[in-house]
Amino acid sequence: MEPILYEFYQHMKNGKILGLCCKKCKTIAFPPRGLCRHCGNAESEWIPLSKKCNIVSVAAGYSAFFPSSPFILATVEIPEGTYFAVPLYDEFFSFSDNPDCIWEYYDSVVGKNGELFIGQNPAGAPMIAVRLCTCQV
Amino acid sequence: MPPKKLRRNIDIIGVGSSISGLADKTDGCINLTTRELWAEAAAAAIKDSGLPHSAIEALYIGNMQSSYNEGQYHLGYVLGMCNGLEADEGIFKSAVGVEGACASSSHAIRAAVFAVASGAYDVVIAGGVEQGNTKWDWTSPGEAQSMNTMDLLTGIFAHLDQGWEVPQMNMLDHVMSQWLLAYAKHYHLSKEQLLKMLDARVITNWTNGLGTPELFWNPPIEEMLKQFNVSDIHELLASPKINPVRNWPIRRWDYMRRVDGASAVVICAADVSKNTKRIPIHYLGTGNALQQYALSRDMYRMPFVEEAGKQAYSMSGLMPSDINIVEMYDFGPAEYFLPLEDLGFWGRGESYERAISGSGLYSGDKPVNPSSGGSTCGCVSGAIGAASIGHLVRELRCEAGAKQVKPQPKIGMAYDCGGARNCVIHILGR
């Protein structure tokens, strides 16, 4: 079996967001896994994932683990039918003095479409993030 | 498929806990390691069972982060020698460590139950221990060194998927906040109602903890008001200075305080307990399910909790309406309200009304955490499930003292969860 986690991040460094598609049942694993989550098959192939997504939920604030700046974390759904959470970049959102600003913001972005892109986390490792867009998912 | 059943009837015959506190700050806890904490809890549970040490045939010990804080994995080996479980001169009985983040002790208890149910053993001891607030290693054995915040967090966040969640900044506090926001939006709560619901949980847990001297943190609310010079509990909880927002709507005191300690239970086959003088509490059912990063389209509910509950109800032959009392590992408010509804103890969308009406009080109509939960007991991560079972057993035996739920409950449920995405349910009855 190939080093899946390593390959996944190497692809990200090359600007690609890839999942693993089971050769038997076509279930897509994202993040990629060694065996198909549905049928357990070990044979799969890398496939590019849609960069379009739908925003399912958001929250905002500091994380004690990444204390330097607050950030928004969005749960997104991609057309391939899986969910994951990624930081949401929105230049129009302000972490103002009102920590409850997320209450109104939630309504303004949940259900909207987003576009995934590859950024960097605070340690410099590749990280998937999302920005709002008007694209069709 | 027919429901899964335990092959033998299983009882819990003894429960016990160690002191809890901070190994670098709390009187009586200073420099205690997993060894002493576990030995204290094990001795208490074995004494409570009325069985001799020699009756114990195996140990299943849960722990989350001893390899980080004490440089010690292979905890079964180390703690197997701390129980009085010698089989022959210097030879010890079976002992194994089990890890499942904050649900470690629940997984250990499940493994122990399955071992007895299989007929491999008749009497075992299981539980959990955690010393997660200080560090020591072989260079200064047993000398508890205080840790800075980043040290503490690195230890805790090692339960997350290091290949995805941490590098992708999928922080648990944000996910917990998403749950609460999604819940409030789904059930059309206002912002003010959401905060009132959170306040009500804190007040319920604090009230349930009052007057129980062994709890780690149990100041009377009046004393808290005096200390912070405020006149009203809601004012205290709403104060950004006293109770700052972490991830709105979650504030500092909505979370648990992490403490060190241990809890143990003695588990036996029913044909052993019938020959003892102790009141046996029957282990009726269990379930376990997990979910990828605890994310779904419907963030107002936790499908993996529903699945674990379904397994436990099926094994026990019981229904949600049969449950009289619940002990929750409510690390934060989302892990209180959502699972209570997912497990059917509270109805869908009832949390706001039930929280503000005091349903969850030990004197309420649907008691939750009469022990106070982690709010005042503290979060002893690797031991919290065993501690919850200890509280349930005392309630079911009618030995809970001032916090005894009346009428005496017949069926209790314990909810435990590793990393808020790996849920374990236990159902006990008398």
Would you give the DSSP letter of residue A27? P
**Res. A5: pLDDT tops 80:** yes
Q: State the Cα angle at B17 between B11 and B19, rounded to 5°.
A: 180
A67 — pLDDT class (breaks 50, 70, 90) = confident
Looking only at the bridges linking them, the beta strands covering B91-92 and B123-130 are: unpaired
pLDDT band for A137, please (50, 70, 90 cuts). low
User: Could you read off the pLDDT of A24-41 as tens digits, one per residue?
Assistant: 999 999 999 999 999 999
Task: Give the pLDDT of residue A66.
Answer: 79
Residues of B with Cβ-Cβ distance to A100 under 8 angstroms = 191, 245, 248-249
| Whole-number Å distance between alpha carbons of A56 and B248 | 18
pLDDT score for B217: 81
Partner-chain residue, chosen from B169, B173, B181, that has the shortest CB–CB distance to A87:
B169
B198 touches chain A (CB under 8 A): no
**Does A43 score more than 80 pLDDT?**
yes
- Asked if the model's pLDDT at residue B63 lies above 90, the reply is yes
Å between B422 CA and nearest CA of chain A: 16
All structural domains of chain B, each given as residue ranges with its CATH number in brackets, are 10-162+258-273 (3.40.47.10)
Query: Chain A residues with CB inside 8 Å of B178's CB?
Result: 57-59, 73, 75
B145 close to B301: Cβ distance less than 8 angstroms: no
B191 has a chain A CB within 8 A of its CB: yes
Provide the token pair at B198.
């959170």
**What are the structural domains of chain A?**
4-48 (no CATH), 52-132 (2.40.50)
Three-state SS annotation for chain B:
CCCCCCCCCEEEEEEEECCCECCCCCCCCCCCCHHHHHHHHHHHHHHHHCCCHHHCCEEEEECCCHHHHCCCCCHHHHHHCCCCCEEECCEECEEEEECECECHHHHHHHHHHHHHHCCCCCEEEEEEEECCCEECCCCCCCCCEECCHHHHHHHHHHHCCCCCCCCCCCCHHHHHHHHHHHHHHHCCCCHHHHHHHHHHHHHHHHHHHCCCCCCCCCCCHHHHHHHHCCCCHHHHHHCCCCCCEEECCEEHHHCCCECEEEEEEEEEEHHHHCCCCCCCEEEEEEEEEECHHHCCCCCCCCHHHHHHHHHHHHHHCCCHHHCCEEEECCCCCHHHHHHHHHCCCCCCCCHHHHHHHCCCCCCCCCCECCCCCHHHHCECHHHHHHHHHHHHHHHHHCCCHHHCCCCCCCEEEEEEEECCCEEEEEEEEC
SS3 of B47-101? HHHCCCHHHCCEEEEECCCHHHHCCCCCHHHHHHCCCCCEEECCEECEEEEECEC
Q: Is A59 in contact with B175 (Cβ distance < 8 A)?
A: yes
Q: What is the pLDDT of residue A42?
A: 95
Mean pLDDT of B357-383: 92
A59 and B149 in contact by Cβ < 8 A?
A: no
**Is any Cβ of chain A less than 8 angstroms from the Cβ of B181?**
yes
Disruptive mutation site among A36, A75, A82 for chain B (greatest number of B CBs within 10 Å) = A75
Tell me the pLDDT tens digit for each residue of B153-195: 899 999 999 999 999 999 999 999 999 999 999 999 999 999 9
**8 Å CB contact of A60 and B153:** no
Contacts of A12 in chain B (CB under 8 A): none
Q: Nearest by CB to B175, which of A85, A106, A122?
A: A85
User: Tens digit of pLDDT for each residue in B257-292?
Assistant: 889 999 999 999 999 999 898 999 999 999 999 999
The whole-number pLDDT of residue B214 equals 76
Q: With an 8 Å Cβ cutoff, is B228 touching chain A?
A: no
Whether residue A65 and residue B247 make contact (CB cut-off 8 A), yes or no, is: no
- Test A63 with B169 for CB contact under 8 angstroms: yes
When scoring B148, B295, B301 by the number of chain A Cβ atoms within 10 A, the one with the most, hence best to mutate, is B295
Instruction: Answer whether residue A64 shows pLDDT above 80.
Output: no
Query: Nearest to residue B42, comparing CAs of B19, B22, B18, B63?
Result: B18
Tokens of B182: 């999604």
Predicted model pTM: 0.97
Kindly state the average pLDDT of the residues B95-100. 98
